[in-house]
A = this chain, B = another copy of it.
Amino acid sequence: MSDADDGQDLGITESKEYNTGEWYAEVVQKAELANYGPEGMSGFIVTRPRAYSLWESIQNELDGAFKATGVQNAYFPLFIPESYLEKEKDVVEGFDPEVAWVTQGGYEELEERLAVRPTSESIIAPYMAQWVRSHRDLPLRVNQWCSVVRWEATDTKPFFRTKEFLWQEGHTAHETHDEAWNETMTRLDQYEDLYRDTLAIPVLRGQKPDHDKFPGAHTTTTVEALMPDGKSVQGATSHHLGQSFAEAFDLTFSAEDEEERAAHTTSWGLSWRSLGALIMTHSDDQGLVLPPTVAPEQVVIVPIWQDDTRDDVLQYATGVAADLEEAGVRVELDDRDERNPGFKFNEHELKGVPVRFEIGPHEVEDDEVTVVHRPDGAEETVSREGIVETTEEHLDEVFAKLYATAEETLAEGVRDATERNEILGTIGQHGGYVRAPWCGEEDCETEIKEQIAAEIVMVPFEDDEEKHVHEGEDCAVCGDDAEETAYFAKSY
């Protein structure tokens, strides 16, 4: 709001194409999405209402899907005793280097340090173990929406890289390996649906190479989204943890045959990085662009008047707004006197309102409305009659345009290579994904990583056609027999 007083500062000055990082930071700031944290707290951000409402849209969508498939929400303590984290270390590599430690409560030094949760496996598993006695208590599915802290010393990039971030973490226990696998895939499907149908972002789905799984996990699955700067974002992950966690935390149940067995567990999470992907994918050099599915205002009506037409135009615009509101469209009538229409156009473009209605004396006279699409500026004059249906069509169109553009970016962004230098050259020149036959050895990834900081972000699932490398194909890096297809990319 502060910037609004000063026309100069209002617009985006950086270029998405040439300066993606600075451009992103500017959009986040000027579209009033987030501020950086206070001095002494680099790496933290303040999530302003506009961004938080986007997060709420994501939450609503996902939470509804979770609950419809047997998930219950719960809340576990913010802190985890160090000894609990230590216990987890028997199974997995710890989070030690990234943990924020509480050492004092009031004026007292604590006897045991408490970790601010970096993730909650180690405190949730012991309670699930208490709650589960018999196979009748399974499946058990709990999820929590919360914030976690990871003390990474990196450049802050709001929503992509922050020391504290919001997320959900789901934790489930099942009787059998297959049930746990179905659970893993159900959540991955729901993440994919969220990206595709709510965020207008197509994703690739697959699994992490064995050396890059969640430590202790049987399989780590991922949805990956391609950002406009050619880097891949891990959009969400869903882990089949096998029985290792259950064994470490005594999460056992008496089976129908009365044997005591360790449960098969999963965990899955999506963070506000999804919000970062949303902002970065669709926005442009005019500012934020949002799909109508999540936009706080789907339509903004800008009335255009002279003194002698003011009353007529406003009355007409108010009627249109009322019709839309009644139909459940999120509409704002921008009737501020102190701003001219051009200023309003710019401001609402900056803030990402998907559709603009312009209503002036001509529209009033002809019983029409001029409709403008945010993503491409496409303009059309439509009849006042049936405006609700027309609006819904235009909102759908805008969504479809955004999705189509993102889909094209992804389609163009996947290239094939059969040789080491081809991988390096293609990623160096174009970014995106390079699909190459791979022997399965970490060394071959390391070689690429050292040269160009790209890694294997995923390999397709077993049942995926692309998985099957052909007889006689060789690893693009070492030339040994290829075992699977790897997607190399730089990543966030």
Residues of B contacting A79 with CB < 8 Å? Answer: 41, 44, 100, 164
Evaluate whether A102 and B101 lie within 8 angstroms (CB atoms) in the complex, with A40-B83, A81-B38, A81-B41 already known. yes
Q: Give residues 161-194 of A contacting B (CB, 8 Å).
A: 163-164, 166
Q: Which residues of B contact A107 (CB under 8 A)?
A: 96-97
Q: A88-131: which residues lie under 8 A (CB-CB) from chain B?
A: 96-107, 111-114, 116, 123, 126-127, 130-131
Q: Is the CB of B5 within 8 A of A81?
A: no
The residues of B that contact A41 with a CB separation of less than 8 Å are: 77, 79, 81, 114
Which listed residue (B73, B137, B151) contacts A105, Cβ 8 A? Answer: B151
| Copies of this chain assembled into the complex | 2
Contact with B along A127-170 (1 / 0, CB 8 A): 10011111011000010001101010100000000011010000
* Interface hub of A5, A35, A45, A49 (most chain B Cβ within 10 A): A49
- Shortest Cβ gap from A423 to chain B (Å): 34
Question: Which listed residue, B104, B126, B133, touches A1 by the CB 8 Å rule?
Answer: B133
A77 with B116: in contact, given A97-B107, A132-B1 (CB under 8 Å)? no
Given contacts A72-B53, A106-B151, contact A133 B100 (CB under 8 A): no
> CB within 8 Å of B: which of A37-76?
37-41, 44-49, 52-53, 55-56, 72-76
Which residue of the partner chain, among B73, B96, B163, contacts A53 with CB atoms under 8 Å?
B73
The complex places the Cα of A110 from the Cα of B76 at a distance, in Å, of 26
Check B2 against A133 for contact (C-beta < 8 Å): yes
Chain B residue, CB-CB nearest to A50:
B72
Once bound together, how far apart are the Cα atoms of A104 and B99, in whole Å? 8
* Most chain B beta carbons < 10 A, residue from A72, A111, A112: A72
Q: Give CA–CA (A46, B96) in the complex, Å.
A: 23
Q: Determine the main DSSP class of A at the interface with B.
A: mixed
- Docked-complex contact B142 and A49, CB < 8 angstroms: yes
CB of A343 closer than 8 Å to a CB of B: no
A103 and B103 contacting across the interface, CB-CB below 8 Å: yes
Q: Which B residue's beta carbon lies closest to that of A47?
A: B75
Cβ-based interface call for A333 (8 A): no
- Residues of chain B lying within 8 A (CB to CB) of residue A75: 46-47, 52, 55, 147, 166
User: Are B126's CB and A40's CB within 8 A?
Assistant: no
A78 at the interface (CB under 8 A from B): yes
CA distance A31 to B84 in the complex (A): 27
Interchain CB contact under 8 A, A133 and B49: no
State the Cβ distance, A259 to closest chain B Cβ, in Å.
Answer: 16
Within 14-38 of A, Cβ neighbours of B (below 8 Å) are at 35, 37-38
Some 29 contacts from A to B, beta carbons below 8 A apart, are: A1-B137, A2-B130, A2-B137, A35-B127, A38-B77, A38-B123, A38-B126, A40-B112, A41-B81, A44-B77, A45-B77, A46-B127, A49-B73, A49-B142, A52-B73, A53-B72, A77-B164, A78-B147, A78-B149, A79-B100, A79-B164, A96-B107, A99-B105, A99-B106, A101-B103, A101-B104, A102-B102, A103-B104, A105-B151
